[in-house]
């Protein structure tokens, strides 16, 4: 066949294949237009999961009569005019493809009125970009887009739609996510004439937290850390969940770049690294985070549906995100956050009615033995801590504790030890209630953090290889190894280039032991290529330090003295990430006096 131009409607249908995946895709594009129109409230009406009707109304600035036909034409927009505008996009939409693409696969009606117009004007479209005939309409200021019978003219795509319940679930999830990006806008969502969501504008901090609690649950706010971190022209704000407040799925992870909801591998990698030794295996962190940066530093034109972005300084952004999250989680101390039982816990007290962070303690109860514990030859906690005290004399807390103080103001956050339950759990009393501590898990974290400090301070001891390892790599990887020679050297590796596609490994950090060093170098080079940096060496080191800490921590079922227990409590109060052991298990929980009263129905 000869080369020929495609019909406009077919061109728009091809574009719709990239923009309109399902009903929620239509909702996303139209709601983003409402954002750009300066809407204060958006109403979304859905019927039959969006297959029959998607109707979205806003009270924004509206569209003048003369521009209605352009709004329904491809690559027509009010948001960019030059390449410079494209390189610093601040609006949600800018391609000018959404409305014509949607109209090519559905029956679309557009009604709009500006503030100074005597009436609204209405047009219909079929994707052909022809025969526009605006008609007057009594619509108030703002815009309504009515989309009916989605994919009516493309039956092959319509049959791929899921059930009504599933498609609406996608829409509801999307609106919740978008509502978290714009607290200044109210949202109303209806399905089959039934109101599902009604979110008022949230101007104050408390109102914003109320909206988040309504979407993510009140437990999220109660078990999260608020972040406000800025450096190098970047700012990260929002909330991150404590490692003990995690989920089995990645369904409560919300990330926004300049107000735009996105998915980003670079960000996911930074989050994974920040939580790497505090999150239990198989669990996923929860967060609502907002990254703000100069629009020129991020390319939002990397994906037709604008679901992904490309950072111009990826390594800078990754390091910033990791640092902000890592430091925020590390700063959490017992006095800042208390892991407590749910306010609505029921009687009787059983594992089934406890929150997840409390269950490990009750799931692992030892069988009670009334006989006195036998003495063993294992070192005491004090002796174990003393093994590291020479490295950190200023941090040593192995000393006699003062008697419990009567003043609540002077009592330490974790209180004073009063018993060692089943030779596993420390029971401590505070003015607010009682504390239960898994002694082994807590001591493991204390020791681990101290070993990391030792590793991170000063030079790293090197272990020369008896026989240097020759590694064949690609020329690009050899160039990278040569370029990052100082980086590898700072981590204890002596790595030299010996040919166009050959590098020689002559020494490694002594701390890494007998791991596969060649594979580690290959993995690190791959990480640097993919992410602009690598954490594999740090991970390997941390895993070894974690193992040392685990073996050095006090064993379960060995009786501890009061002074030993109090010494551990004081150490916990000064240790970063103390809420979890190296494997992500919780180290302590609190039962408030209110919790205790509920168990015995006091005051009822």
Q: Please say if the pLDDT value at position 467 is more than 80.
A: yes
97-116: average pLDDT: 91
Q: What is the pLDDT of residues 334-363, one digit of tens each?
A: 755 544 333 322 222 223 333 333 333 323
More confident call, 512 vs 79: 79
424-442: average pLDDT: 92
3-state SS record for 151-203: CCCCHHHHCCCCCHHHHHHHHHHHHHHHHCCCCCCEEEEEECCEEEEEECCCC
pLDDT band at residue 455 under the 50/70/90 scheme? confident
Contact 332, 242 (CB under 8 A): yes
Q: Please say if the pLDDT value at position 279 is more than 90.
A: no
381-389 vs 562-573: helix axis angle to the nearest 10?
50
164-179 vs 23-36: helix axis angle to the nearest 10?
20
pTM: 0.70
Contact 501, 474 (CB under 8 A): yes
Residues linked to residue 458 through DSSP beta bridges, in sequence order: none
CATH 3.30.230.10 fits domain 217-330: yes
CATH code for residues 351-453+553-599? 3.30.1540.20
Q: What is the pLDDT of residues 350-409, one digit of tens each?
A: 233 333 333 333 233 333 233 333 333 334 444 444 444 443 444 444 344 445 565 666
Q: What is the residue extent of each domain of the chain?
A: 8-199, 217-330, 351-453+553-599, 461-549
- The DSSP H or E segment spanning 573 is helix 562-573
Instruction: Point out the least confidently predicted range of 337-346, 473-482, 515-524.
Output: 337-346
Token digits for 180? Answer: 């978290």
More confident call, 101 vs 402: 101
Contact 54, 81 (CB under 8 A): no
Q: Please say if the pLDDT value at position 144 is more than 70.
A: yes
CATH code for residues 8-199? 3.30.565.10
- One of 3.30.1370.100, 3.40.309.10, 3.30.1490.190, 3.90.1580.10 is the CATH number of 461-549, namely 3.30.1370.100
Place of tokens 């420390």: 426
Backbone angles phi, psi at 376, to 5 degrees: -120, 175
Closest by CA to 271, choosing from 292, 295, 296, 289, is 289
Q: Please say if the pLDDT value at position 31 is more than 50.
A: yes
More confident call, 531 vs 61: 61
pLDDT band at residue 449 under the 50/70/90 scheme? confident
Instruction: Point out the least confidently predicted range of 105-109, 422-426, 532-536.
Output: 532-536
Instruction: Point out the least confidently predicted range of 350-354, 429-433, 459-463.
Output: 350-354
Backbone angles phi, psi at 450, to 5 degrees: -70, -40
DSSP one-letter code for 600: T
Distance CA 26, CA 161 (A): 13
pLDDT band at residue 1 under the 50/70/90 scheme? confident
495-519: average pLDDT: 84
Q: What is the pLDDT of residues 546-603, one digit of tens each?
A: 766 776 677 667 788 899 999 999 999 998 888 888 888 889 988 999 989 988 888 7
141-160: average pLDDT: 92
Average pLDDT, the chain: 81
């Amino acid at each position: 066949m000869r080369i020929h131009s495609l019909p406009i409607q077919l061109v728009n249908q091809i574009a719709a294949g990239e923009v309109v995946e399902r009903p929620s895709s239509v909702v996303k594009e139209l709601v983003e237009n409402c954002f750009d129109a300066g809407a204060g409230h958006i109403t979304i009406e859905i019927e039959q999961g969006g297959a029959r009707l998607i109707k979205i109304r806003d009270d924004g600035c509206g569209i003048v009569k003369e521009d209605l036909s352009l709004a329904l034409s491809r690559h027509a927009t009010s948001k960019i005019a030059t390449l410079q505008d494209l390189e610093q996009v601040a609006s949600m939409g800018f391609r000018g493809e959404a409305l014509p693409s949607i109209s090519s696969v559905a029956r679309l009606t557009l009604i709009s009125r500006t503030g100074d117009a005597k009436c609204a004007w209405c047009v219909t479209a079929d994707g052909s970009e022809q025969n526009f005939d605006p008609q007057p309409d009594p619509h108030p200021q703002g815009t309504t887009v009515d989309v009916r019978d989605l994919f009516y003219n493309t039956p092959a795509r319509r049959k791929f739609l899921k059930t009504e319940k599933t498609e609406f679930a996608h829409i509801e999830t999307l609106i919740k996510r978008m509502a978290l990006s714009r607290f200044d806008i109210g949202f109303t969502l209806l399905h089959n004439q039934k109101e599902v969501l009604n979110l008022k504008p949230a101007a104050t901090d408390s109102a914003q937290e109320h909206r988040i609690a309504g979407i993510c649950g009140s437990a999220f706010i109660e078990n999260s850390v608020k972040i406000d971190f800025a450096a190098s022209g970047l700012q990260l704000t929002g909330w991150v969940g404590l490692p003990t407040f995690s989920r089995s799925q990645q369904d409560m992870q919300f990330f926004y770049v300049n107000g735009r909801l996105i998915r980003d591998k670079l960000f996911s990698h930074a989050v994974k690294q920040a939580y790497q030794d505090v999150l239990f295996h198989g669990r996923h962190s929860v967060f609502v985070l907002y990254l703000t940066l100069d629009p020129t530093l991020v390319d939002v034109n990397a994906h037709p549906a604008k679901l992904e972005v490309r950072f111009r300084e990826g390594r800078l952004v990754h390091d910033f995100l990791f640092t902000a999250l890592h430091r925020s989680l590390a700063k959490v101390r017992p006095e800042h956050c208390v892991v407590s039982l749910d306010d609505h816990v029921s009687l009787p007290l059983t594992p089934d009615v406890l929150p997840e962070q409390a269950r490990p303690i009750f799931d692992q109860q030892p069988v009670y033995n009334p006989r006195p514990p036998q003495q063993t030859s294992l070192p005491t906690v004090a002796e174990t801590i003393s093994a590291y005290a020479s490295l950190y004399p200023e941090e040593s807390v192995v000393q006699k504790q003062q008697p419990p103080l009567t003043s609540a103001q002077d009592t330490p956050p974790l209180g004073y030890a009063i018993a060692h339950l089943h030779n596993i759990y420390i029971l401590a009393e505070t003015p607010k209630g009682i504390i239960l501590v898994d002694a082994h898990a807590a001591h493991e974290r204390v020791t681990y953090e101290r070993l990391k400090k030792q590793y991170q301070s000063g030079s790293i001891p090197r272990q020369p290889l008896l026989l240097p390892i020759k590694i064949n790599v690609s020329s690009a990887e050899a160039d990278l190894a040569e370029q990052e020679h100082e980086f590898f050297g700072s981590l204890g590796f002596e790595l030299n280039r010996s040919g166009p596609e050959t590098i020689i490994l002559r020494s490694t950090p002594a701390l890494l032991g007998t791991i596969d060093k060649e594979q580690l170098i290959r993995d690190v080079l791959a990480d640097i290529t993919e992410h602009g940096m690598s954490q594999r060496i740090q991970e390997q080191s941390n895993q070894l330090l974690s193992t040392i800490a685990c073996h050095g921590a006090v064993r379960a079922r060995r009786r501890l003295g009061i002074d030993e227990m109090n010494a551990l409590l004081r150490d916990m109060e000064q240790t970063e990430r103390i809420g979890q052991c190296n494997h992500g298990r919780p180290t302590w929980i609190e039962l408030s006096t209110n919790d205790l009263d509920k168990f015995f129905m006091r005051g009822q």
